[in-house]
Structure 1
Amino acid sequence: MEKVTEILVEAAAEAVEPRFRALAEGEVMEKAPGDLVTVADRDAERIITRRLRELLPVPVVGEEAVAADPALARALLEEPAAWLVDPVDGTKNFVAGEPSYAVMASLVRSGRAVAAWIWQPCSGTAYTAELGAGAWQNGRRLVREQVTTAPESWTGILKSRYFDPPTSHRLLANARALGPLDPGRRAAGIEYPLVATGERDFILYWRTLPWDHAPGSLLITEAGGRSARFDGSPYLPEPPGGTNGLLVAADPDQWETLREILLKGF
């Protein structure tokens, strides 16, 4: 666990942090309309990929590698083990000079995330999780206590951007039964730790790309929370284009209540 954290920290220090608020002309591109990538993303992924394969020689499913060759993501389903890498989670924030970005990795075995790492360079904070062994923040064990407050006091993040307008409007209407909504930070590697540490109670996502959600989902479940599809099935990382919709909550009972409230009428 410590070795992978070291790999992410060192890759960020070499390829990402020197370019923060210092990107030159031509170092920001579009993979698709509105979907940014920078030289920092690509360089960091190359470094992380090489070093992870030295640690455990299994396929590496990196966000930028999959953008170039989508078939690489099949390793998540077809290989006994694979690494998942998001070299700069929150690229738009990074390009804008906002500190809400992270460097992330996870290890997938038999289609399930078994270890996860989130490194937040601007705060110097590392989050790790290992299946059955707990969740940690800079070496401190994270444990979410059972939520005992009423729903109207629960605060969370509702990522309505990728829902169609009628669905988004219904979700926002249902959410009036809850506490204030946080608009989100445009980076899963920043948002999931907010629930793990108690700063927020829940998150609702639609689009669930594996490199964005495998690390945080394991962090939440190992801290005592729940991350599951809308039908209650556990989150499993799968190639882009698969199942969408994910509800994350501080504890399993709260998850059930949130589903009743937020998904009423669906």
Structure 2
Amino acid sequence: MDKVAAILAEASAEAVEPRFRALAAGEVMEKAPGEVVTVADREAEAIIARRLHELLPVPVVGEEAVAADPALALALHDEPAAWLVDPVDGTANFIAGRPEYAVMCSLVRSGRTVASWIWQPATATAYRAELGSGAWRDGERLTRPPAPQDPAELRGSVKSRFLDPDHRRHLEANCSVFGDVSPGRHAAGIEYPDVIEGRFDFLLYWRTLPWDHAPGSLLVTEAGGVSARLDGTPYRPEAPGCVDGLLVAADPHTWELTRKVLLGA
């Protein structure tokens, strides 16, 4: 666990942090319509992938590598084990000079996340989780206390960008029941820790790219929270486009309550 944490921090220090608020012309590119990437993403992923493979020689499913070759994501199911890497989570924040970004990775075995790491460079904060062994922040064990019982006191984030207009309107109308609902902080590597730290009580995502959600989902569940598909199925990392919809909450009661309110069922 310590070796992987060191790999993320060192790759960040070498390839990411020196470019924060210092990206040169030509160092930001469009990799797909509406999706951008920087040289920091690509260089950090190359460093992390090489070092993780040296540590455990299994396939590395990196966000930028999959952008170039989508078939690489099939390793999540076709191989007994695989690494998942998000070299700069919150790339739009990073480009804009906002500190809400993270460097993340997970280890997946038999289609299940068994370990995860999140490094937040702006605060030099390291989160990690291991299946069955708990969630930790800088060596301190984390446990999320129950959220408020009254929905009017709950705080959350709802991501409706990828929903069709009718479902978006329905969802947004139902959000009025809660105390505070925001678009979030535009980086899963910030938002999932926010659930454990009590800044959010729930998160609703629609598009669930595996490198975004595997690290934080394990972190939340190991701290006592819930990360599950809208039918109640526990989260498992899937190749992009396979499964949509994910509700994360501070505890089982909050998950059930939030789902009922948001879906109106």
Tell me if TM exceeds 0.5.
yes
Q: Which amino acid aligns with 1:89?
A: D
- Show the counterpart of 2:185: 185
CA distance in 1, matches of 2:175, 2:141: 31
Aligned position for 2:71: 71
In the TM superposition, what is the alpha-carbon distance from 1:147 to its structure 2 partner? 2.7
For structure 1, which runs of at least 5 residues remain unmatched after alignment?
A: none
- Say if 2:222 is the partner of 1:245: no
Deviation of 1:34 (Å)? 1.6
Aligned counterparts of 2:148 and 2:34: Cα–Cα separation in 1: 41
Counterpart CA distance in 1 for 2:179 and 2:164 is: 23
**Alignment match, 2:198:** 198
1:205-255 C-alpha deviation (Å, 9 max, x unpaired): 000000000001000100000000000001100111100000000001111
SS at match of 2:106: strand
1:8 maps onto 2:11 in alignment:
no
Instruction: Give the structure 2 partner of residue 34 of structure 1.
Output: 34
Q: Using the TM superposition, give the Cα deviation of residue 146 of structure 1 relative to its aligned residue in structure 2, in angstroms.
A: 2.3
Could you tell me which residue of structure 2 aligns to residue 159 of structure 1? 159
Distance 1:105 1:217 in 2: 12
Q: Give the equivalent residue in structure 2 for 1:23.
A: 23
- For structure 2, the residue ranges without an aligned partner over 5 or more in a row are none
**Normalised TM-score (structure 2):** 0.98
Shift of residue 177, structure 1, vs aligned partner: 1.0
The aligned counterpart of 1:84 is 84
Kindly indicate whether residue 85 of structure 2 is the aligned counterpart of residue 121 of structure 1.
Answer: no
CA deviation map 1:3-40 (0-9, x unaligned): 10000000000000001111111110000122000000
Amino acid at match of 2:118: I
Look up the match of 2:52: 52
Is contact 2:144-2:224 (8 Å) kept? yes
One-letter amino acid matched to 1:61: V
Cross-structure match for 1:261? 261
Q: How many Å separate the matches in 1 of 2:33 and 2:148?
A: 44
**Residue identity matched to 1:124:** A
For residues 72-114 of structure 1, the C-alpha deviation after alignment (integer angstroms, 9 at most, x for no partner) is 0000001000000000001111111111100000000000000
Inter-partner Cα distance in structure 1 for 2:248 and 2:29: 32
Q: Following the alignment from structure 2 to structure 1, what is the Cα–Cα distance between the partners of residues 264 and 23?
A: 45
Matches within 5 A, 1:104-115: 104-115=104-115
Distance in 1, matches of 2:252 and 2:108, equals: 23
Identity of aligned residues (%): 69
The Cα shift of 1:148 comes to 4.3
Letter matched to residue 140 of structure 2? R
Structure 1 length-normalised TM: 0.98
State the alpha-carbon separation in 2 of the partners of residues 70 and 177 from structure 1: 40
1:142 aligns with 2:142: yes
Distance 1:177 1:185 in 2: 21
Does residue 1:226 correspond to 2:232, yes or no? no
- Give, in whole Å, the separation in 1 of the partners of 2:165 and 2:136: 38
Letter matched to residue 105 of structure 1: C
RMSD over aligned CA atoms reads 0.8
Q: Mean alpha-carbon deviation: is it higher for 217-226 or for 179-188?
A: 179-188
Q: Match of 1:19, as an amino acid?
A: R
Shift of 1:67: 0.5
Runs of 4+ aligned residues of structure 1 deviating over 2 Å after TM superposition are 146-149
In structure 1, C-alpha distance between the alignment counterparts of 2:39 and 2:147, rounded to whole Å: 42
- Read off the aligned partner of 2:30 and give its amino acid letter: E
Number of aligned residue pairs: give it.
265
> Which segment is superposed worse, 223-232 or 158-167?
158-167
